[in-house]
Structure 1
């Protein structure tokens, strides 16, 4: 019988930003390197996950970062955006999941589910009507995961990933407040 280590989800603090940037780089590279050109991945990682960029996002009003930890080691993270920090103005009274990533060694251990459940709880707690996200159309496992969690397709948008045009699917979940 394998014992499962409890997952703790906690707010990222200012002193955690180096760990956050390192985890963000590592999980992004693991998730997207095989399906993309190395130059596109390198360009995106250098731009999106450098310490200055992470600090800027961390201090932005209405953006919130959370670590998923086991044995005090961050093994996943979540970035939620509200109000003016959302990357798109698609919904009234919504919470956006901008990023949700888990270390490749921990995928399949319920960490992603714990993070999505946490996000749903935060949306309910704040009285939001919608929880939404964008997911790369080629990330089939993530699309299946979000569908299992009650997200539906709402639309899409193109974006430039390095020199390559890609499409994100926009998915949303209605939030029922208690």
Structure 2
């Protein structure tokens, strides 16, 4: 399997918007109303919002290509771009998504390893992320990779409040 990471730039915003909407919808559409889902997709993954996020020098988006096909993407944040904590020693993995047809091939591990590599290169002491309390597949994956639940926070899905577990992995 030939894997390649590509940094997303402003010229990639249309493709990023498409893959972000697609993967978020695939992951959470079954557990949310279509109205709530559509409103969230439009507010969070529209081109203007993504351009703003790409322009933030404390955030980084990476596409993952598998054998030349776009398989998924990763977004990491540091410093004031982090959605919580904003500690200099931490790197947030805000988004880590794979298209459905690429799941089950070890590519989630590749995305996670890339995020950890970025954190290590930037001398971070830990990585952290938020994962929905009902996403047991993801929680199990992160626990298997050495993450531990350290708290929770509220995630707004439209008007609906949902609970995300905060999970953290200490780095050497």
Q: Normalising by the residue count of structure 1, what TM-score does the alignment of the two structures yield?
A: 0.93
Q: SS at the partner of 2:163?
A: strand
Structure 1 stretches lacking a partner, 5+ long: none
Which of residues 10, 23, 46 in structure 1 aligns to 2:19?
23
Match of 1:49 in 2: 45
Match of 2:92 in 1: 96
Q: SS at the partner of 2:31?
A: coil
Which of residues 26, 29, 35 in structure 2 aligns to 1:33?
29
Shift of 1:165: 1.6
Structure 2 stretches lacking a partner, 5+ long: none
CA distance in 2: counterparts of 1:88 and 1:160, whole angstroms:
14
CA distance in 2: counterparts of 1:43 and 1:168, whole angstroms:
19
Match of 2:65 in 1: 69
Q: Normalising by the residue count of structure 2, what TM-score does the alignment of the two structures yield?
A: 0.96
Shift of 1:90: 5.9
Deviation string 1:7-57 (CA, Å, 9 cap, x unpaired) is 212211222111111000000000000011111111100100111111111
CA distance in 2: counterparts of 1:40 and 1:19, whole angstroms:
23
Give the superposed CA RMSD: 1.1
Which of residues 5, 8, 20 in structure 2 aligns to 1:9?
5
Q: SS at the partner of 1:52?
A: helix
Deviation string 1:117-154 (CA, Å, 9 cap, x unpaired) is 01111111111001000001011101011111110001
